[in-house]
Chains A and B, each alone.
Chain A
C-alpha cells in the first residue's frame, strides 16, 4: 500500500528566507504532484513531476523528484506573505489513484 509522508507539518518562516518541504513515498510511482490550498478553497495545481531528476520552477517555488530515493522536494526561495497556504504532495498509485501527503501549513511573516 502506497504511503505518502510530508514534513514539516507546519512551517513558520520569515519573509525573504528559503526553506524546503519534503515528500517521501513508500512504493514506486511514475507521477508526483504538488498542490496549493488556501483556507476554505480547493486545490490549485502547482507541479507535475513525471520522471527521475525532473525539476520544475514557477516563481519562488521549485519542485524536484528523485524516484530512486522516493523523495520530492518543494523549495521556497525568498518567501513572501502571498505564499502562505497549505501545500500538499500527492503520488499516483498503480491504479491512477492519488494518495495525498499530510500537508504542510506554511505561514510567512514579515
Chain B
C-alpha cells in the first residue's frame, strides 16, 4: 500500500514553454502533498506544500507564479513549471502525507531538462 506515482518520469522541453507534472496517490487519499526539487548531488529542498481544495503554501524564495500548484482532488496534485528556463532543470519529487501525518510517501520523481 501507500504508492505514489508521478508522470511523466522524465521530460525535455524548450526554454519558454510550460511543463505540467502530476503526482497521484494510488491507494490512499492525501489531503496534503509536498513538492521537492533536487539539483544534482544536492539534497532535497521543499518547494511548496499542497493542500486539497486550498492554495499551496510556498517556501521562501520559490516563485508561486512560476511554479503553479493545483491540488484538485484527494489523490492528485499537479506542478506546472511556467516559462521554463535551463536553470529550472532539476529532479522534481512529490510526496503524499498518509492519514497518520507521520509518514510521507515519495513518488519516483520527474527529471526535467530545459534546453
Contact = CB atoms under 8 A, between A and B. Distances in A.
Given A42-B93, A48-B102, A50-B102, A97 B46 contact: yes
Given A41-B109, A42-B108, A100-B44, A48 B101 contact: no
Interface size class on chain B is: 20 to 34
Given A50-B102, A96-B101, A97-B34, 4 more contacts: A88-B43, A96-B97, A98-B104, A101-B43
Contacts of A75: none
Contact of B93 (A43, A90, A102): A43
Given A42-B93, A50-B102, A88 B109 contact: no
A9 B3 CA distance: 30
Interface string A2-45: 00000000000000000000000000000100010000111101
Interface of A: 31, 35, 40-43, 45, 48, 50, 88, 90, 96-103, 105
A23 B75 CA distance: 33
Contacts of A42: 93, 106-109
Given A42-B107, A43-B93, A97-B49, A88 B44 contact: yes
27 contacts: A31-B102, A35-B106, A40-B111, A42-B106, A42-B107, A42-B108, A42-B109, A43-B44, A43-B93, A43-B106, A45-B106, A48-B102, A48-B103, A50-B102, A88-B43, A88-B44, A96-B32, A96-B97, A96-B101, A97-B49, A98-B34, A98-B46, A98-B104, A100-B44, A100-B45, A103-B43, A105-B41
A105 B40 CA distance: 12
Contacts of A50: 102
A84 to B, nearest CB: 15
A40 B43 CA distance: 13
Contacts of A35: 106
Contacts of B95: 98
Contacts of A102: 43
A88 B93 CA distance: 15
